[in-house]
Amino acid sequence: MVVGIIRVELLIHGSSSLKEKRAVLRKIKDRTRARHNISVAEVEFQDLRQRAVLGFAAVSHSESDLQRLFNTLRNEVEGILPGGILDWQEEVLQ
């Protein structure tokens, strides 16, 4: 069993309220949950309107499957929020 964890720091350009920020984050969370069997949550900066940190977690039988998932998730987040990724950290636990 292999566990993958991703920490993504985001800049949400043009967000003038927490409501707008939550709408963008909801879109990312809903889309990634619907397409992949993962857990995702906002883990930092809940009170800042243009910054967020999302945490993703997934379990797989192989590290190569997790790497494919990580690449797919990054492409999906970039597609929803172009230029919004400030930091992307991946960790694999075996």
- On whether the CB atoms of residues 88 and 6 are closer than 8 A, the answer is yes
Model confidence pTM above 0.85: yes
d(CA 32, CA 21): 17
Instruction: Indicate the pairing of strand 39-44 with strand 51-60.
Output: antiparallel
CATH number of the domain residue 81 falls in: 3.30.70.1120
Total domains, the chain: 1
Q: Which domain covers residue 88, as residue numbers?
A: 2-93
List pLDDT tens digits, range 2-48: 999 999 999 998 888 999 999 999 999 999 999 998 999 999 998 99
d(CA 2, CA 76): 22
